[in-house]
């Protein structure tokens, strides 16, 4: 993801979080390190946005989010190729694995369906299955008022009911730059942790009674997108892992 796109998503997340909370926050400035300056109750604070993911994490980050990212790039390339040939906006839901072999068949098949002349929003089922060893792929396609292409399995899945370690790791990671943030915007610096529940990698639920060592941040908030924003309970123990 480019830095420009990342900043756009950070602002979307923050605006959504404000809308779903009772906090009277106003974005004063978009910047780097921390990401925003926010006004609240006559004062201002710095706010850094950080992602939190469900499931396994390795040295390169979230395993599930990395897989989603690869799929998003493949799907985006197919969408661009289709639109360059047709100029038509469609919604495509991919059901099944998007292998390179199946991906090579998608655009030609979609073009042949001539969606420019189909009713808006009417679902059309396309099955890519030639009887060979490659797994079959089903497409649910509609002519749509805006492009929306995605792999269904990347938006559904189990909910991580024990995300505390991931949250602690996200806080610890941002602590490395806390002094830099405070030098730039003042002592009141806070975190907005975003779990994007619109994707499988962001489906988490915080256990009751959870508390976190905030490591010098004045406050931290968890936005479980698209449902709710909650402040994280702080604890003073330095034994947090």
pLDDT value at residue 190: 98
Q: Round to whole Å and give the CA distance between 205 and 126.
A: 36
**Three-state secondary structure readout of 156-215:** CCCCECCCHHHHHHHHHHHHCCHHHHHHHHCCCEEEEEEEECCCHHHCECCCCCCCECCC
pLDDT value at residue 213: 96
- Inter-CA distances, 103 with 76, 84, 135, Å: 11, 16, 12
DSSP letter at 136 equals P
User: Is 179 contained in some domain?
Assistant: yes
Same domain, 29 and 50: yes
User: Is 237 contained in some domain?
Assistant: no
pLDDT value at residue 131: 77
- Number of domains, the chain: 2
User: Is 240 contained in some domain?
Assistant: no
Residue 147: give the domain boundaries. Answer: 64-154
Is residue 152 within 8 Å of residue 92, measured between CB atoms? no
Q: Of 42, 7, 48, which is closest to residue 180 (Cα–Cα)?
A: 48
Over the chain, what is the mean pLDDT?
93
Task: Give the end of a domain, one of 121, 154, 187.
Answer: 154
Q: Round to whole Å and give the CA distance between 65 and 95.
A: 18
User: Is 36 contained in some domain?
Assistant: yes
Same domain, 69 and 149: yes
pLDDT value at residue 237: 53
Can you list the residues of the chain whose pLDDT is less than 70? 1, 237-241
Q: Which residues, in sequence order, are CB contacts of 193 under 8 Å at separation 6+?
A: 50, 51, 52, 167, 170, 171, 220, 221, 222, 223, 232
pLDDT tens-digit map of 127-174: 999 877 889 999 999 999 999 999 999 999 899 999 999 999 999 999
Task: Give the end of a domain, one of 127, 154, 181.
Answer: 154
User: Is 136 contained in some domain?
Assistant: yes
Task: Give the end of a domain, one of 112, 139, 154.
Answer: 154
pLDDT value at residue 220: 98
């Amino acid at each position: 993801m480019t830095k420009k796109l990342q900043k756009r998503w950070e602002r979307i997340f923050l605006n959504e979080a404000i809308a779903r909370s009772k906090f009277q926050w106003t974005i004063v400035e978009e910047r780097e390190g921390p990401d925003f300056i926010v006004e609240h109750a006559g004062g201002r604070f710095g706010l850094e946005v950080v992602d939190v993911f469900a499931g396994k994490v390795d040295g390169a980050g979230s395993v599930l989010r990395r897989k989603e990212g690869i799929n998003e790039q493949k799907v985006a390339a197919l969408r661009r190729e289709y639109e360059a040939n047709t100029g038509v906006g469609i919604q495509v839901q991919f059901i099944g694995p998007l292998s390179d072999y199946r991906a090579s068949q998608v655009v030609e098949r979609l073009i042949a369906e001539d969606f420019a002349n189909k009713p808006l929003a009417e679902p059309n089922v396309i099955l890519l299955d030639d009887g060979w060893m490659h797994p079959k792929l089903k497409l649910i396609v509609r002519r749509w008022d805006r492009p929306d292409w995605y792999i269904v399995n990347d938006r559904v899945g189990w909910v991580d009911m024990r995300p505390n370690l991931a949250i602690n790791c996200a806080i610890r990671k941002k602590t490395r730059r806390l002094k830099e943030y405070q030098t730039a915007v003042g002592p009141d610096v806070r975190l907005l942790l975003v779990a994007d529940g619109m994707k499988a990698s962001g489906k988490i639920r915080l256990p009751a009674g959870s508390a976190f060592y905030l490591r010098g941040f004045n406050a931290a908030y968890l936005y479980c997108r698209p449902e709710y924003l909650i402040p994280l309970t702080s604890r003073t123990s330095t034994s947090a892992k």
